[in-house]
Structure 1
Amino acid sequence: MQWYLKVLKQYADFSGRARRTEFWMFVLFNILAVIVLSIIDVLIGTATFTATSTGFATGGGLLTSLYQLAVLIPSLAVGARRLHDTGRSGWWQLLALIPLVGAIILIVWWATEGTPGANEYGMNPKQEMAGGYPQGGYPQQQYPQAGYPQQQDQGGYPQQGYPQQGGYPQQPGYPQQGGYPQQGNQTPQA
């Protein structure tokens, strides 16, 4: 639901990039909303529901039509941002005007993973949500990742976790635990 609301908050924002999750969750909630509103339209009599020789047919309902009109711009915006994530212009959505073939091409592009790293449309949305680390997430303590140097403990084995940074100088006479190196030949004072 948070992905659906995120798209609605960016109602007419055609700039930037959108993750696959954001796009497809929005599509899923739209489909569910149209189904529920179509049922309500039939129940209150604002749509027709008739049996045909090949199945059932429904006529456009008032609530369903109003909903689809309300989400038209956010749908186009999230579709454009999703295409931006794959490195394509949002204008490629005009392929939908080509019957069947255009829709198939767009579905394939929308399902394709986005370009890693930044592209001409902005940062990778996976990296933005994860804090900007290169692999799309924070360094894990159990699994060393490329680009994050591992320190070695006194036995020569790599330590897991974040690399240690320098800190404040230690008191003279106490063992150095990381931080700034001691200056000169200092002796402990009693």
Structure 2
Amino acid sequence: MSLTDAARTCLTSKFATFSGRARRAEYWWFSVLYMGAAAVIVGVAFAIEAPLLSVFLLPFIVPMLSVSVRRLHDTGRSGWRMLIALIPAVGPVLYLLGMTVDSTPGTNQYGPSPKTADQPVG
């Protein structure tokens, strides 16, 4: 999955889809887009006015949360596990490590593996 594919998937077809699974590539490419957009918006907000930051980042929050939940589902974990990032100091590290784990092979309780769905047959 490319950056444009991840952006298209997360911002259109799966904008607020918290069920199912998301591959590592989809999560990380959308994270790059989210952080890039945040960096640009922060620069513009400081140049113009700070309250604009929340207005422009708001449309990206729901897709970022949904792709994070689907990524956790892909590793066989509940989306509530995302709350581990709220633990001071070690929480964000544990959260990021959890996002780097490979997919659960085959079907798990959250659905079929998107990894096998993306591979060509034959």
Scaled by the length of structure 2, what TM-score is found? 0.88
Pick the structure with more strand per residue: 1
Does 1:103 find its partner at 2:86? no
Q: Distance in 2 between matches of 1:67 and 1:27?
A: 16
Residue 4 of structure 1 corresponds to which residue in structure 2?
A: 7
Equivalent residue, structure 1, for 2:59: 70
- Letter of the structure 1 residue corresponding to residue 121 of structure 2: Y
Q: Partner residue of 1:27?
A: 31
Name the residue aligned to 1:84.
Answer: 73
Could you tell me how far 1:8 is from its partner in structure 2? Answer: 1.4
Q: Quote the offset at 1:11 in angstroms.
A: 1.6
CA distance in 1: counterparts of 2:62 and 2:88, whole angstroms: 21
Partner of 2:121: 138
Give the ranges of 4+ consecutive aligned residues of structure 1 lying more than 6 Å apart after TM superposition.
Answer: none
More helix as a share of residues: 2
Identity of aligned residues (%): 40
Runs (5+) with no aligned partner, structure 2: none
Shift, 1:22, TM fit: 0.3
Question: Matched residue pairs, number?
Answer: 118
Which structure is larger by alpha-carbon Rg, 1 or 2?
Answer: 1
CA distance, structure 1, for counterparts of residue 64 and residue 99 of structure 2: 13
Tell me if the contact between 2:22 and 2:67 (Cα under 8 Å) persists in the aligned partners: yes
Distance in 1, matches of 2:116 and 2:38, equals 33
Counterparts of 1:26 and 1:99, CA distance in 2: 25
Question: Quick one: distance in 2 between partners of 1:67 and 1:8?
Answer: 14
Q: CA RMSD for the aligned pairs?
A: 1.4
C-alpha contact (below 8 Å) 2:18/2:70 kept by paired residues = yes
